[in-house]
């Protein structure tokens, strides 16, 4: 069942992912140095600090547009609030993950190195397939809103007597038609794209790690179920009992490592999970209000719908991948029970039953990822979170 070459490709996937995240964010989450030319790394690290300062300025000044821009419509005022709130939330989540990069590195080391001892090729193939599917969805919903807002701004700039505006800035004024003001608006749009790219890179890393944790439980379940085959092999019954007992000990060791990884994930990403829930509720509420204030034409509806789709799908990818950890962990006690302990005899049976009882007792503790410290991340909670936005909207309107 084990294929070393496929195992190496699984590690290479995470190496490529963390290299991609480094190129976007200038933060290395891999437990080794990034494989890029030293000169490039030095220059890029310096340039990235300047770009980061610009993004932070963009996020902080977003709320100020409500005071510096005059004669705004209700839709434009709501648009400023929605984009400012969403930018603040997502950049805060990004900053929290960067702050916890040491824990993320340790987590990736455990997932790609420490847990290789119970590697299963079929399970890992399924994991990589799911990761690629989720990443394709994340890239799609990340690009759609940004493209839609850019097309909307260009459409109105070409067909109406208005300036190209995607994000209403603190400066320049919306009616300023000078060349310098137009150039500044294009730069602001690029900075917004850069911020979204930062966040999408971090999202991809967190979602991949969550999927990997869920499949580590699936891998461990398969490992315990396959321990039955020990008694079908060659050798005396005493030799097979010894191999089975050693196998159980390895499984318990791997389970402890996975539990440590889950705790690290919860510790390093608890603010991200909570922030994503708040982001979903707040942005969906503001988008529904904005839709009520718009004239419901295609150019105005396209950005709103694409942003709503982006928020809902990105929240779903977060919550579904975290909820899968709970589902897969819940299958582990049953796999341990059917691992073949009943084939042991005498003193070996006594020792093995104690080990299995201890292992099942630990595995029966429910493993749940939580947002805001109280909201369990699952498919059911996702539906409840989505409904909550409409519930608040229906009370207001």
Q: At what angle do helices 346-363 and 237-293 cross, to 10 degrees?
A: 10
Burial class (CB in 10 A: 0-12, 13-18, 19+), 361: exposed
Q: By 3-state DSSP, what share of the chain in percent is helix, strand and coil, each rounded to 5? A: 80, 0, 15
Alpha-carbon distance of 345 to 237, in angstroms, equals 9
Contacts of 30 (CB under 8 A, 6+ apart): 14, 15, 18, 19, 22, 105, 108
H/E stretch holding 376: strand 375-376
**DSSP, residue by residue, 188-221:** HHHHHHHHHHHHHHHHHHHHHHHHHHHHHHHHHH
**pLDDT at res. 7:** 55
**pLDDT at res. 351:** 94
**pLDDT at res. 173:** 92
Query: Which residue range forms the structural domain that includes residue 54?
Result: 4-396
**pLDDT at res. 151:** 93
**pLDDT at res. 1:** 45
**DSSP, residue by residue, 240-259:** HHHHHHHHHHHHHHHHHHHH
Alpha-carbon distance of 36 to 124, in angstroms, equals 27
Distance (Å) of CA 14 to CA 102, 109, 111:
16, 10, 10
**DSSP, residue by residue, 253-283:** HHHHHHHHHHHHHHHHHHHHHHHHHHHHHHH
The whole-model pTM stands at 0.93
Residue 376 phi/psi, 5-degree rounding, is -75, 130
Q: Which two tokens stand for residue 239?
A: 């030799």
Residue 165 phi/psi, 5-degree rounding, is -140, 120
Domain count, the chain: 1
- Comparing C-alpha atoms, which of 295, 136, 264 is closest to residue 200? 136
**pLDDT at res. 396:** 76
Contacts of 382 (CB under 8 A, 6+ apart): 315, 316, 319, 320, 323
What string of pLDDT tens digits covers the 397 residues of the chain?
445 454 567 788 899 999 999 999 999 999 999 889 999 999 999 999 999 999 999 999 999 999 999 889 888 999 999 999 999 999 999 999 999 999 999 999 999 888 877 777 888 889 989 999 999 999 999 899 999 999 999 999 998 888 999 999 999 999 899 999 999 999 999 999 999 999 999 999 999 999 999 999 999 999 999 999 998 878 888 999 999 999 999 999 999 999 999 999 999 998 999 999 999 999 999 999 998 888 878 888 899 999 999 999 999 999 999 999 999 999 999 999 999 999 999 999 999 999 999 999 999 999 999 987 788 999 999 999 999 988 888 887 7
């Amino acid at each position: 069942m084990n294929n070393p070459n496929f195992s190496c490709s699984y590690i290479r996937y995470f190496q490529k992912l963390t290299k991609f995240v480094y190129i976007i964010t200038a933060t290395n989450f891999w437990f080794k140095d990034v494989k890029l030319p030293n000169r490039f790394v030095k220059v890029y690290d310096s340039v990235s600090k300047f770009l980061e300062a610009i993004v932070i300025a963009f996020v902080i000044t977003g709320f100020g547009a409500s005071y510096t821009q005059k004669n705004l419509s209700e839709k434009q005022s709501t648009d400023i609030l929605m984009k400012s709130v969403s930018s603040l939330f997502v950049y805060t989540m990004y900053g929290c993950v960067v702050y916890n990069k040491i824990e993320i590195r340790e987590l990736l080391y455990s997932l790609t190195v420490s847990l290789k001892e119970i590697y299963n090729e079929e399970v890992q193939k399924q994991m990589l397939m799911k990761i690629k599917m989720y990443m394709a969805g994340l890239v799609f919903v990340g690009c759609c809103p940004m493209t839609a807002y850019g097309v909307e701004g260009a459409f109105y700039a070409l067909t109406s007597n208005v300036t190209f505006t995607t994000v209403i800035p603190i400066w320049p004024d919306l009616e300023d038609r000078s060349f310098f003001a137009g150039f500044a608006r294009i730069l602001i749009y690029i900075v917004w794209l850069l911020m979204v790219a930062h966040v999408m890179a971090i999202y991809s890393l967190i979602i991949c790690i969550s999927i990997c944790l869920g499949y580590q439980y699936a891998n461990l379940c398969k490992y315990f179920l396959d321990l039955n085959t020990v008694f079908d092999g060659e050798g005396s019954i005493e030799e097979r009992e010894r191999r089975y007992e050693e196998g159980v000990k390895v499984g318990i060791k791997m389970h402890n490592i996975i539990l440590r990884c889950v705790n690290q994930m919860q510790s390093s990403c608890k603010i991200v999970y909570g922030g994503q829930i708040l982001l979903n509720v707040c942005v969906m509420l503001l988008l529904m209000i904005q839709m009520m204030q718009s004239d419901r034409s295609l150019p105005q509806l396209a950005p709103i719908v694409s942003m709503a789709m982006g928020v809902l799908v990105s929240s779903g990818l977060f919550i579904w991948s975290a909820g899968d950890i709970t589902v897969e962990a819940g299958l582990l006690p049953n796999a341990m029970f059917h691992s073949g302990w009943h084939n042991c005899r005498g003193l070996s049976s006594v020792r093995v039953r104690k080990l299995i009882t201890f292992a099942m007792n630990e595995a029966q503790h429910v493993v749940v990822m939580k947002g805001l410290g109280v909201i369990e991340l699952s498919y059911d909670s996702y539906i409840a979170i989505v409904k909550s936005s409409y519930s608040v909207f229906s009370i207001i309107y």
